[in-house]
Amino acid sequence: MSLWNMVAQASITVQLVMFILLLASVMSWVIIYLKYDVLRKARADALRFEDQFWSGINLADLYARVKKNAVEESGLARIFVAGFSEFVRMRKHTPGNTATMLAGVQRGMKVAQAREEERLDAHLSILATVGSISPYIGLFGTVWGIMRSFTALGSVQQASLAMVAPGIAEALIATAMGLFAAIPAVIAYNRYVERVDQLANSYENFAEEFVGILQRQSQSLQHEEDDQRAERPLTTE
């Protein structure tokens, strides 16, 4: 018997199990491919933005450049925009109050960071679900196929391999399909969670370093005149 014949001759219940597992496998591979592209781009964007940020560029110029490409930017760029825009706003409304200003900057960046992490985590739960339940769905098909074989044996006085072979075959196919759907999903989920955690740590470290830069700049600006403080550029140096 060919594989297709074994699937075609399987019971309706086992065929339904196989169909569910096939859909789960296809869905997980689509998510694996799309999420790989998202995480790869997020990592590349983070490295590119860090190079720009630590190059000593005027932060106001960097802010204007990032805002111009707001649709294309993500990750660290959006966190920077959220923090710097809040810094500019708080600087106008609460001049000289460094603590309040930095607290507002931190809140703005935390919100942006949470949104970025939520975007990176999107659909990973589907991979976890496929990886955890697919073996059990396949096991259900296995049990059903074996039950069908024993039922065939109970209706005759003399058993033969030809009578039990179809039920055993469909049971083994259901098991194999369950593993085929679960193993890639589990491997991809663990790998992607690790990458998301790495990016989240880099976002958090950047936010703390950026707040430290703003704090140092703000403290130095407090010793100057208001007009000089407004005109002095902020840099990462």
Q: What does the DSSP 8-state code read for residue 215?
A: H
In a domain, residue 165? The reply is no
Spell out the residues 6+ positions from residue 162 whose beta carbon is closer than 8 angstroms to its own: none
> What are the pLDDT digits (tens) for 168-205?
777 888 889 999 999 999 999 999 999 999 999 999 99
Domain span at 118: 18-141+184-231
Stretch 203-219: mean pLDDT: 86
The pLDDT of residue 229 is 47
In a domain, residue 214? The reply is yes
Helical axes 59-68 vs 76-93, angle rounded to 10°: 120
Report CA Rg, the chain. 29
Q: What share of the chain is helix, strand, coil (3-state, %, to 5)?
A: 85, 0, 15
pLDDT higher than 70, residue 230: no
From residue 55, how far is each of 26, 52, 88, 181 by CA, in Å?
44, 5, 21, 46
The three-class DSSP label of residue 114 is helix
Q: d(Cα 149, Cα 145) in Å, to the nearest integer?
A: 6
Structure tokens at 108: 């703005």
In a domain, residue 237? The reply is no
pLDDT higher than 70, residue 156: no
Stretch 91-114: mean pLDDT: 83
Q: d(Cα 126, Cα 116) in Å, to the nearest integer?
A: 19
CB atoms within 10 A of CB 226: 10
The pLDDT of residue 225 is 44
In a domain, residue 36? The reply is yes
Total length of the chain: 237
Compute the C-alpha angle 5/9/10, nearest 5°: 120
The pLDDT of residue 3 is 65
The pLDDT of residue 237 is 56
In a domain, residue 162? The reply is no
Of residues 100 and 132, more confidently modeled = 132
Task: State how many domains the chain has.
Answer: 1
The confidence band for 65, taking pLDDT boundaries of 50, 70 and 90, is confident
Mean pLDDT of the chain: 83
One-letter amino acid at 188 equals A
Stretch 205-210: mean pLDDT: 90
The pLDDT of residue 57 is 81
> What are the pLDDT digits (tens) for 116-154?
999 999 999 999 999 999 999 999 988 888 887 777 676
Compute the C-alpha angle 65/69/71, nearest 5°: 150
The pLDDT of residue 101 is 81
In a domain, residue 154? The reply is no
CB crowding 130-149: b at 16 or more within 10 Å, else e: bbebbbebbebbbebbbebb
- Is the Cβ–Cβ distance between 175 and 55 less than 8 Å? no
In a domain, residue 3? The reply is no
In a domain, residue 108? The reply is yes
Spell out the residues 6+ positions from residue 128 whose beta carbon is closer than 8 angstroms to its own: 185, 189
